[in-house]
Amino acid sequence: MRLEPTLKVIQRCVDLDSIRSVLDIGSNRGYFLRHLAASHPHLELVGIEPDPFIVDCYRDNPAIELLRTKFENATLNGRSFQLIHSIHTFEHMVSSLVAFRKAFDVLADGGFLFLEVPRTQRITSATILFEYFIDNHLFHFTRGTIRNYLSLFDFELLHEETEDQDNLTFLLRKRSGTVRSPDRATMCNEFVQNLQMVRGYEERRGRNLAALKKVGRKINDFVGRHRVAIWGASRIFDILCRYGALDLDRVVAVVDKYLCDYVAVVNGIRIQKPDSLSPQVVDSVIVCSDAYYEAIKTEARELLGQNVSVHHYTDFFQASRLAA
C-alpha cells in the first residue's frame, strides 16, 4: 500500500540503474522487491521477513533471496547494499539503536536508506479510535526521537516527508562510516510533552469509543437512504462494526484494493475489489481510511462518475459531536 509514494521518493533521488544491490528489512509481502525484480532485473535483491504466512507470493521467486528471520538475527556475512528499504519495521525491533547501527554497517558508503515508521503524533487526532500501543510495537517514534537516532550516524538527509500525519519518512545517503557518541546536550528531550500526549490519547479514545453507538446509528440511517459501498476493510472498518453495530445487510458492498487478496470475509461480509462496483448500483461511498482518503476519493469518482457522493468516516463523527 505504500509502494507508490515510496517509489516516487526513491526514483527522484536514486538512479536505480546504477546500483547493484538492495536489502529490504521487513519485506512483508514483497511488494517493493517484486516491483524491482520486474522493473530492474539486474539488481541483487535480498528480503528479510520473519513471518512465514505472508511470503508465499515471493518465497520461490528466483530473483529474490529471502531470509526468513528477524533483522537482528540475520547473518549477512560481510555483505553490503547500495539501497536499504525499511517500512514499518524498526518499531518492532528489540533495540532500535542496535538495528540502526546494523543497518548503517551493511549500507555501502554512498548508499541510500529509505526509512519509514509510524508517527506517534497521530494519536492526537480528535477522532482517534484504534489502539495505537499494540504489543508487537516495542518502540514508538516522534520526529525528534528519529532525528536523535539519525544524528549518531554520518547521513546526508535527501528527503523528509513533513505533510504525512501518519508516518515519518526519510531518505538518507551514507557519507562515511563515522559513528558518533550520543550528545545529550544537543538531543531532543520530549518526555514531558509525550507523556501529556499519551494521557490525552487515552482520554480521547475512551470517549470516542463510547460515542460510537451514536455514530453507527447515523451511518445506518445514511445507508438506509442511499446505495452505499464501504471502501476500506481494515481496522477502522472493524472498529466501526464492533462498537458502532453497522448494519452490513443493507450495504451494497465492502471493498478493499489490497486486503481482499489475503482475506475473504471481514465481520461476516465478503470483501471485494473496488472494480466490482458500478454506478448503476452505488451512489455513495464511505471511506474507512485516513492516509488514503484523497486517493480513494479520486479513484471512486473515476470508477463511479463525478456525481458519486464520497464521505470520510469522520463526517459521521462530527455529526455525532465526537470528542474534541
Q: Give the mean pLDDT of 2-24.
A: 96
In this prediction, residue 324 carries a pLDDT of 42
Examine residue 59 and state whether it is found in any structural domain, yes or no. Answer: yes
Q: How far is CA 276 from CA 62, 181, 250, 271, 279, in A?
A: 33, 56, 17, 10, 10
pTM given for the model: 0.87
Same domain assignment for residues 77 and 217 = no
| Full 3-state SS string of the chain | CCHHHHHHHHHHHCCCCCCCEEEEECCCCCHHHHHHHHHCCCCEEEEECCCHHHCCCCCCCCCEEEECCCHHHCCCCCCCEEEEEEECCHHHCCCHHHHHHHHHHHEEEEEEEEEEEEEHHHHHCCCCCCCCCCCCCCCCECHHHHHHHHCCEEEEEEEECCCCCCEEEEEEEEEEEEECCCCCCCCCCCHHHHHHHHHHHHHHHHHHHHCHHHHHHHHHHHHHHCCEEEECCCHHHHHHHHHHCCCHHHCCEEECCCHHHCCCEECCEEEECHHHCCCCCCCEEEECCCCCHHHHHHHHHHHHCCCCEEEECHHHHHHCCCCC
Whether residue 154 sits in one domain with residue 231: no
State residue 2's pLDDT score.
85
Q: Is the pLDDT of residue 13 over 70?
A: yes
Mean pLDDT of 16-28: 98
Residue 204 lies in a domain: no
* Amino acid letter, 222: F
One domain, residues 127 and 184: yes
* pLDDT at residue number 320: 58
Percentage of residues in the chain having pLDDT higher than 90: 87
Range of 267's domain?
A: 211-319
Q: What's 265's domain CATH number?
A: 3.40.50.720
Instruction: For residue range 153-176, list pLDDT tens digits in order.
Output: 999 999 999 989 899 999 999 999
The yes-or-no verdict on residue 129 having pLDDT over 70 is yes
End-of-domain residue from the set 178, 199, 220: 199
Same domain, 313 and 177: no
- Let me know whether 43 and 143 are in one domain: yes
* 71: confidence class by pLDDT, cuts 50, 70, 90: very high
Same domain, 191 and 246: no
Is residue 1 very low, low, confident or very high in pLDDT (cuts 50, 70, 90)? low
Write down which residue in 158, 178, 199 finishes a domain.
Answer: 199
Domain containing residue 35: CATH number? 3.40.50.150
Q: Examine the fold and report which residue of 168, 199, 230 is the final residue of a domain before the chain moves on.
A: 199
Counted domains in the chain: 2
Do 247 and 114 fall into the same domain? no
Distance from chain centroid for Cα 198: 21
Q: Is residue 206 part of a domain?
A: no
Q: How does residue 107 score in pLDDT terms, banded at 50, 70 and 90?
A: very high
Q: Specify whether 217 is located in the same domain as 189.
A: no
132 in a structural domain: yes
Same domain, 257 and 282: yes
* Residue found by looking up cell 492516509 in the block: 291
Question: What does the pLDDT look like over 177-224, one tens digit per residue?
Answer: 999 988 887 788 899 999 999 999 999 999 999 999 999 999 999 999
Q: Are residues 12 and 119 in the same domain?
A: yes
Instruction: Please indicate, yes or no, whether residues 299 and 150 belong to a single structural domain of this protein.
Output: no
